[in-house]
Every structure is written in C-alpha cells, then in structure tokens.
Structure 1
Amino acid sequence: MNVIQFYIDNFNYQDALKIYNQLTADCLTKDLLNKGESHFNKIKLLSELEKLKEKQVYLDLSSLNQSSFEQKHPNNAFLEDVKELDEKWKQLYKEASFLQQKLLNYSETERMAAAFIILDYFDEIHDIWDDLKTFENTGALPRRDKKSFEMTDLQSLLRRRNTLRTYLSKAKKGRLSKENIAEWEEEIRQIEKLIS
C-alpha cells in the first residue's frame, strides 16, 4: 500500500501534516497548514496529499526492479542513461529545495533570481520525469537535444517559452542581468518556430 494513501485513508490532521511536511518543500502551503486544523486546512491538506500521491509514481521510478525490467527489455542499452537521469533529477531537486529554503534570507533581487533558477530546475526535473516515464513504458528513452530544442512535448515548450518571457520582462525592468537578453530572445524564436 502506498504510504501517502494510508495517511489519506486513516486521516488524522497532525499525522498527515507531519508526513506532508517531510515530503514537500512548499513553504507557503506548509505555513498555512501549520497554523492549525480547520475545515479549509483539512480539505487543503487532503488535496495536497493527493497531489503528492500522484507524483510518487515518479519518485518510485528510482526503485525499478532491475531483474523484472531486464525480463521485459533484455540487453537494454539505456539502463546506464536511466540511472544517470535518476541521479540528475534527484540532485536538481535537492538544489531547488535548498534554494527554496534560503529564499527568505535573500534580498528582493537575489530572491527573484533564485526563484527563476528554481523554476528552471523544476522544468528540467519535469522533462526528466517524462523521459523516465517513457522509458518505464517503452524501454527506450526519447531523444532530446536541448541545444536545438527537439522536444516533442508541447507543454514543455510552452512552459519554457513562458519562463523565458518572464526572464525578459524582469531583465528589461532591471530586476535581472541584461546580459542574457539576446540569448533568451533567440531561444523564444526557436520555440515559437517549433510550436507553429
């Protein structure tokens, strides 16, 4: 049985809150839920636990049973790449979580730059999770060349385009360094060519 499902089925606000606090880095929601049990907080906590339960599919990918995988896909050449991707998303997640915990200690400009870095990390993490899910289902990894933007996932492209637009806006207002503006504009043009 899924651990999170156990806490949902046997709901006790304090116990569920403890597991939620251990599994997430979302400070805003944690602060809200830690203020005490109320009707709204109970519904919110159950909702957040459901979201975590759905995400746990990705977290469980690291515990793929190698022998059963090898039975499904013998002599798979992607196994080392999968291990590398698994380690990569975990490292990115740790870095993003660390940055998120430090946000309150930064000045407004530093906080904004760190927030954008966190968004980039999570964009990359979601791409890796998509690749791992594809691997789990098909036994092959999709080819992604980030330099030429050969991403097939429209949602990833739109998310990246929106992130870049935000960067441009902040840089033009002086909140981010202007040195990357040309690079970001070119990346947006390439993404828009792929979308159209």
Structure 2
Amino acid sequence: MKEIIIVYGNMGSGKSTFSRSLKKHLPSYQYVCLDDYRKDNFGEVLEDGHNTHEFEHKVARKTKAAIKDHQQVIYETTGGTRFFKEIYADFIRNQYKLYIVHIHCPPAICLERHMKREQDGHFHVVPVYKKRLDPKEYIERLEDRSAWIKADLVLNSEKYKPHELIKQFFQKFNAKGSNPELRQIIKDFDYSTGLKWFNDHVEGKFFVKEMLSSGEDDFNRARLKKELHQVLDQLESSAPTSLHKPVPERSRRKPTGRDTTPPQATITPAVTVKVTERAAQSPEELELKEKWLPLYSKASMVFGQLDLIEDDGKRKQACFEVLDLMDRVSEVWQEADFVKVHGKKPEYIDQGMDDMTPEQMSKRIRTLRTYISKAKKGKLKKENIPTWEAEKAELERRVSA
C-alpha cells in the first residue's frame, strides 16, 4: 500500500528544511514538492502569451504523476490550496496510508523569515491569478485556508531546531519497545482490526463501541483512529518507561540546552485494561438505538461531504447541522447510559402536561435547557440530566405534534 507523509505549513514555516532533512533519514521515500515543479518550468512564465491557469494545471499534473510513480512519498505543501484538497480527496479515496505533519510557526515569524529570504535572493514562485497579494496577505490567506486539515503531529519550528523536529517525528511514528501491537495497528490502520482490538482491550465506552460497530465510514474511521491514539497516549503516560516525549504545544516552557536523545525503553508496558462481556440489549436500549442511529447516520453523511463544499457559507451551515445532529445523538446516549446503569428509562412527572398551552410548554423547554446547561457545567447535579432530557423530549414532541 502506498505511504505518504504529508508535510504542510505556511511560507517560511520551515517545512522545506524539515522535509529535505526527513528525506535523508528515509532514503526510500521520494520527495515531492509542487513548488519545485514551478521552478523547473519557470521559463514558461516569462514567455509571451503565458497562461497562468494552464501553467498551474501542467505543474499539478507533474506533481500527481510523481506521487503516482512511487510507493513511499514525502509530499510537501502549504495545504491552503484547492489543488491540495483535490489530491487529498484522492488519497482518502484510494485508502493510502497517510501521516500528516503540520510544521507550525506564527504568521508574523513566517513573514519575517520570508522577507529575509527574499533579501538574501531566495527564489520563490507564487502563482498569480486575478490580483497579486503581498506576502503578508498571502501568508494570512494560507493560514486560514489550511485550518481544516487535521494533523497527526504538530511540530513547532519556532521553538525547536530542525534536528529536534526530526527526533520528535520518529518518537511519534517509530518509537521502539512501547506498545508495539497497538502502534502497528495504528500504523497499518485497518478498520476491522482496529475495532476488534478496541472492543477486546478497552473497558467501558459502551456507546462509542456501539457507534463504531454500526459500520465503517469517514466519520467512524476518524473517530476510531482518535480513540486508539488516546489509548496509546494513556498507556505511555502511565507506563514505567523513560521514552522522551516532546513538550506539548500548549506548554510555554522553552526547550533546554540538554541533549534530548530518547534512551531505549527498558520495559514494554502491557495493556491491562479489563475485558468485559457485552450484555444483551434490552427493549429500552433497542428503542433508543432506533432514535440515535438515523441521526448519527445523517451527521456522518453531512460530515463526509464537508470537504466537497466550496462555498464558505454553505460549509458553515453544514458544520452547524452536524453539531446540532450530534447534540441530539448525545442526548439519546445520555438517556441510554441511564438505562445501562439503572435498567430503566429516566422517569419524570408529566402530570399537567395535557393542560399546558404551547406557550407554557415552550417556556418549560427553555427552562429545562437552562438546567441541562448548568448541570453540564457542574452548577447543578449531573445525574438529573437524563430526566430533564426525557421531559424536554416529550414536551418538544407535543409542541411539534
């Protein structure tokens, strides 16, 4: 199967330095960068009658061909272009193994580095369409348009030197002696294999398992990967090993001058989470499943189409639709959790509902929403949430009837 390491970052972030250094450590990988093809064909830009769109299409075809011709690729990109969205969709469609690395650097530092490189005579090709953007505008534009990408690893090139970023990369993707089975499952990700491991080794998370068992799709695939990474992080953080971990992105501590070469782990931590047998579903559980599954399926479908929606307004509207659907799914899951613990659905007093006007019902619904919100923030008892949710659902049913 084709393996692609996607290295993305803004102009001046240091992604080229990192990618070329990574290539030296991974000689079997082909380094591919669209900018290199622009430079190789830059003579065409100087010709009379030059067509920018035709030139970019030609460069894109050469980039795609280079990726197609090699099984292992380091692909460098800004991530903020339509071309990257298209080629990323191809990667997903063909189920390539992807390792997405974000070389992060604040836009102000990127601009400072870019201007210094221009003063030093660094050659950089920026495509021009309807109007030319100045470097500051172009960097801000790339920062905004690459925000949708979900990186497997974020490397801070402002804080760390290139050789330290390389170490962090291999600590993330190639750490030896630390949960090798789970690491291999994540690396060679197969949905069925990953789901079996998750079900066999992780205690609890009953409704997450139920959701993942409903079938493989883009949303479930991403959620399962996230769950497996979280399990690995938990195991490693509690394991008796001296394996070095990079400073988290949110930490403001500056790296010391000490050698950060990770020593070999001497103990391989075993997975000790308890295996639990899944109880047969009760009628109440089956009824609740019939409520949340259609909502979840619709949310998954809309989520999978987000990258294909080019209009920003429509994409934002679709995002809110996904969030609204998953909020409704979460409400049903809370009720299902209550059933799992207590063996019955939450009870509430419905006396007087038949005598309530629609306005009174709407007011009560707003009150219940306030209670639920405060309970989720810890201001009221959380154990009351399922009861309030059940009452709110009944009132909403009556209002809409």
TM-score w.r.t. structure 2 length? 0.24
Higher fraction of strand: 2
Higher fraction of helix: 1
Between structure 1 and structure 2, the one with the greater Rg is 2
Which structure is higher in RCO with an 8 Å CA cutoff and minimum separation 6?
A: 1
TM-score w.r.t. structure 1 length? 0.44
